[in-house]
Amino acid sequence: MDDDRIPALEAFDAWPRLRAGLLTDPEQERRIEELLGAMTLEEKVGQMIQPELWELTPEDVREYRIGSALNGAGVWPGRKRHATAQDWVDLVDEYWQAGREAYADRPFHIPFLWATDAVHGHNNVFGATIFPHNIGLGAARDPGLVRRIGAATAREVAATSMDWTFAPAVATPRDRRWGRYYEGYSEDPAIVHALAGEAVLGLQGEATGSNADARVICAVKHWIGDGATAQGADRGEAHCDEHLLRNIHGPGFFSALAAGAQSVMISFSSWIDPADYDHTPGRETAFNHKIHGSRRLITDVLKRAMGFEGVVISDWDAHAEVSGCTMQDAGYAINAGIDVLMVAARDAWQGVYHTTIRQVHDGTIPLLRIDDAVRRILRMKMRAGLWDKPRPRERALAGNVSVLGSPDHRAVAREAVRGSLVLLKNAGGVLPLARETRVLICGSGADDIRKQTGGWTLSWQGDDISLDDLPGAQTLADALRAEFGTDRCLLDPDLEQADPAEYDVAVVAIGEDSYAEMRGTIKPWGTLDYAGLKLSYARDLELLRRLRSTGVRIVTVLYGGRPMYTTEEINLSDAFVVAWLPGTEGGGVADVLVAGQDGLPQYDFRGRLPCNWPRSRDSMAANSIPAHIPGYRVPAEEQEPTGPHEPLFALGYGLDYASADPGPGVLPLDERIDEDPVPAVSGPLRILGPDAGAEYAWLLAGHQMWTRQQVVPGTPAQFTILRVGTCEGREPTEGLALEFTGYIAFICAQASSKRPRDLRGYLEREGRLAFEVRVWQPPTEPVYVACHDDFPAQPGLDISGLLHAAPEGEWVGFSFPLAQLRDLGMRFKHVDVPFMLYSTGKARFDIADVRWEPAD
């Protein structure tokens, strides 16, 4: 490590015992025991339940004495995307007051607290500062900057009177296919270790138990090994021994907990130690590998060996994935050591509440385990000073709109953008751009704020936002026009009108579309080839080729949450800058690209790669060797299929303006191509209707609903987000009657085997996606039809206009060329979901006879 801000890391031969951060206060402990002794079992279990806003009412808080609630990403007061700070304060205050009223007949009360995911700023709140995602901060390698970002974020969270943020994420991501890759600072545990503790100190402050108005409780996540999953699978399995789990995936937790993190969120993933795995036939499932069900990792390691005294919280409905649990039964996970259960849906959290009480009475869950959980919850609340804080609407920063997106916070964000930029190439010194330069701005990311901000930005995936949702935000095009003036600077994203010969340089911004967990994960059959991932990305490569043919100098800026195979893009560029996911402050990119009035750089490139940069399309795994582990061997699942990994640019690489090396020359391309033949198709592919068979299962999912629920044609089902019934006049299994109720809802047909099919033959034969519809209530919002290889990723085709035009109560046939879906970015080689409908509005209609059919 050539940066003295990142100290060297030594190997951990055992799980480190915490000696700082969480220091027991005898007086607090006495008060905790008094409260614990006075509480009923029902009150204790209520403290352990954390529902989601849309599934909880103030009356529920009063009745069940609920201890905390959260708002999921994309959930706002009154469902208003642009809810103000005061709207949030009023909402939090209403639930806080219900929490007080719940104890009106008791001689004590337990404060209610509110939690949110503020992971790169207070990102779910309109007007908040949006900082670079963690991968960019790992490139900046500035611990002090990370602390200041944490402090600014905490201040903005406090302006909405919330108490708890589920941050920082301290995974050490080892596979670039993982959709949460950008939530980790680096594939190097030393960088993660150096930054994680600083994030905690920024959010919580240095003194545990302080009643600071501008500090919040933090939750370090996700314990442990979610960055280790094989093939980058979201909620997958980490196959490594305990030594590697501890030394590669533990260091971020070690520094965060030593800094005083009051809570830890558990990972959705599983851990399998090859030495412990029982290969005996019939015994493979005897071990509960889900970390949410691992007493060994939660109780034995985190709580006992490391001495963690704070709260262990589950992830969203994750207890239901533990063997021995169900959505309404979390007993096994509680016994493993979970203290607070994040259970979103109303029927689920109420089921967990009642089941837990019953299981304590019948001895399934020891009362001592409940007391341990509640003792930790009380301790966390007491250390956060919640008994002394005024009610939310009376707090010092409550509703202070000037705090959200304040100039000081935006200045820190802009500084972070400048520090995160990594210069991979600067041939001929094309950068910095002189003030008299005539600039042509192109590329899919030039004026797309979504590519800059990424996931977890006002909504879960961050793919449905615009500049109207982010007041004061600047795209790169905005920033460059501000620097050069509109008379010297033209935006032409697709090069439809400009003559490149009239310009000195083309600044081409490209990058990944916005995504978050699940939807951002690249399937095992995918590729890291930027131009090969989506049709829109391929258009960026073609744009670079067209520009290169004109002779104009090219500066390419790449946005994205992971290292990508971009060798041809680099070769076509005179300068190539990796900007990661910089957030709203596009001016920070321009600050470094553009020279000052004296012709000298205003700011230098300081960012260094936090990960190896891939040489080939299938260079998926990190394969960097952590320096602090003597004798480290790259695990088998991280080894490249084509041999030892040789990065195109190694971890730590990055040029600056003083670099004698102007950048690489022509880099060798990965010339391998897909030579798989296109399978022939012989007739229609039936999905729903006569002769559909059992190849596809119908599934329902909704807003952040990880667990997909099966829908059986012919069996009516009542879900909160979507009601499903049988179609009058059709055989029960030949159609579905759908009623969308105004929530985000998906219904899809997914391969029962979970193995995708190569359906390119239908595209070659000019095939169509066809189905019948009978409309009863036209949609209030767009309804999309989609098919793809990675549920629930989309694009989709909006059919709401056709639904409005359809005569009420009459069957109408709809048919779309598959080429329309291809043009939206659908890839047909691995089709997992051949049909999906999704909407956020209300609608009622029937569907039947869903099929793919070739034209001839």
Cα 80 from Cα 472, distance rounded (Å): 19
In a domain, 246, yes or no: yes
Of the CA atoms within 13 Å of residue 522, those in its CB half-sphere come to 25
Kindly report the average pLDDT of the chain as a whole number.
Answer: 90
551/689 same-domain check: no
DSSP state of 6: S
Cα 533 from Cα 529, distance rounded (Å): 6
From the list 440, 454, 616, the residue with the least C-alpha distance to 528 is: 616
Interacting residues of 150 by C-beta distance below 8 A, sequence separation 6+: 168, 198, 199, 200, 201, 202, 203, 218
Choosing from 560, 585, 605, the residue where a domain stops is 605
pLDDT tens, position by position, 287-329: 458 999 999 999 999 999 999 999 999 999 999 999 899 999 9
517 catalytic, yes or no? yes
CATH of the domain at 719: 2.60.120.430
Q: Which position among 198, 315, 512, 638 bears the catalytic label?
A: 315
Cα 99 from Cα 668, distance rounded (Å): 63
Cα 56 from Cα 50, distance rounded (Å): 9
CATH of the domain at 498: 3.40.50.1700
Report yes or no: 217 and 263 within 8 Å, Cβ to Cβ.
Answer: yes
Evaluate if residue 48 carries a pLDDT over 50.
yes
From the list 524, 657, 624, the residue with the least C-alpha distance to 232 is: 524
3-state percent helix, strand, coil for the chain, nearest multiple of 5: 30, 20, 50
CATH of the domain at 230: 3.20.20.300
Cα 840 from Cα 458, distance rounded (Å): 16
Number of DSSP helices (H) and strands (E) in the chain, helices first: 23, 29
Interacting residues of 842 by C-beta distance below 8 A, sequence separation 6+: 740, 741, 742, 777, 779, 780, 781
Cα 392 from Cα 397, distance rounded (Å): 9
Evaluate if residue 212 carries a pLDDT over 80.
no
In a domain, 388, yes or no: yes
Evaluate if residue 286 carries a pLDDT over 70.
no
385/456 same-domain check: no
Joined together, the tokens standing for residue 357 give 């009480």
pLDDT for residue 285: 45
Evaluate if residue 792 carries a pLDDT over 60.
no
202/90 same-domain check: yes
In a domain, 239, yes or no: yes
Sheet holding 783-788, edge to edge: 709-711, 696-702, 745-751, 833-839, 783-788, 797-798
Report yes or no: 593 and 155 within 8 Å, Cβ to Cβ.
Answer: no
DSSP state of 806: S
In a domain, 263, yes or no: yes
389/444 same-domain check: no
pLDDT tens, position by position, 157-210: 999 999 999 999 999 999 999 999 999 999 999 999 999 999 999 999 975 444
pLDDT class of 663 with cuts at 50, 70, 90: low
237 catalytic, yes or no? no
583/503 same-domain check: yes
In a domain, 496, yes or no: yes
pLDDT for residue 690: 79
H/E stretch holding 532: helix 530-533
pLDDT for residue 73: 87
Quote the pTM value: 0.90
Give the type of residue at 770.
A
pLDDT tens, position by position, 584-621: 999 999 999 999 999 999 999 999 999 999 998 888 87
pLDDT for residue 511: 97
Of the CA atoms within 13 Å of residue 420, those in its CB half-sphere come to 35
pLDDT for residue 207: 54
Range 503-519 average pLDDT = 94
From the list 429, 475, 833, 474, the residue with the least C-alpha distance to 657 is: 429
Evaluate if residue 705 carries a pLDDT over 60.
no
Residue reference for tokens 């089902």: 717
In a domain, 650, yes or no: no
pLDDT tens, position by position, 343-371: 988 899 999 999 999 999 999 999 999 99
The parent domain of residue 766 ranges over 685-853
pLDDT for residue 826: 78
385/471 same-domain check: no
pLDDT class of 645 with cuts at 50, 70, 90: low
In a domain, 367, yes or no: no
pLDDT tens, position by position, 101-142: 999 999 999 999 999 999 999 999 999 999 999 999 999 999
Range 482-489 average pLDDT = 94
697/837 same-domain check: yes
From the list 129, 195, 136, 189, the residue with the least C-alpha distance to 156 is: 129
Evaluate if residue 284 carries a pLDDT over 60.
no
pLDDT tens, position by position, 530-588: 988 888 899 999 999 999 999 999 999 999 999 999 999 999 999 999 999 999 999 99
438/386 same-domain check: no
Pairing label, strands 422-426, 270-272? unpaired
498/572 same-domain check: yes
Range 455-474 average pLDDT = 94
Choosing from 549, 576, 605, the residue where a domain stops is 605
pLDDT for residue 134: 98
What is the tally of structural domains in the chain? 3
Residue reference for tokens 């790669």: 609
Q: What is the 3-state secondary structure (H, E, C) of 54-106?
A: HHCCHHHHHHHCCCEEECCCCCCHHHCCCCCHHHHHHHHHHHHHHHHHCCCCC
82/217 same-domain check: yes
Cα 201 from Cα 196, distance rounded (Å): 9
498/426 same-domain check: yes
Ramachandran assignment for 235, one of left (phi > 0), alpha (psi -120 to 50 degrees), beta (any other): left
Joined together, the tokens standing for residue 257 give 């907990």
Q: Which position among 226, 478, 513, 517 bears the catalytic label?
A: 517
Report yes or no: 161 and 209 within 8 Å, Cβ to Cβ.
Answer: no
Report yes or no: 826 and 536 within 8 Å, Cβ to Cβ.
Answer: no
Cα 805 from Cα 779, distance rounded (Å): 11
178/278 same-domain check: yes
Choosing from 605, 625, 656, the residue where a domain stops is 605
Joined together, the tokens standing for residue 250 give 């533990």
Evaluate if residue 785 carries a pLDDT over 50.
yes
Evaluate if residue 709 carries a pLDDT over 80.
no
Evaluate if residue 332 carries a pLDDT over 60.
yes
pLDDT for residue 657: 95
Interacting residues of 659 by C-beta distance below 8 A, sequence separation 6+: 426
pLDDT tens, position by position, 737-764: 999 988 778 888 988 777 788 999 999 9
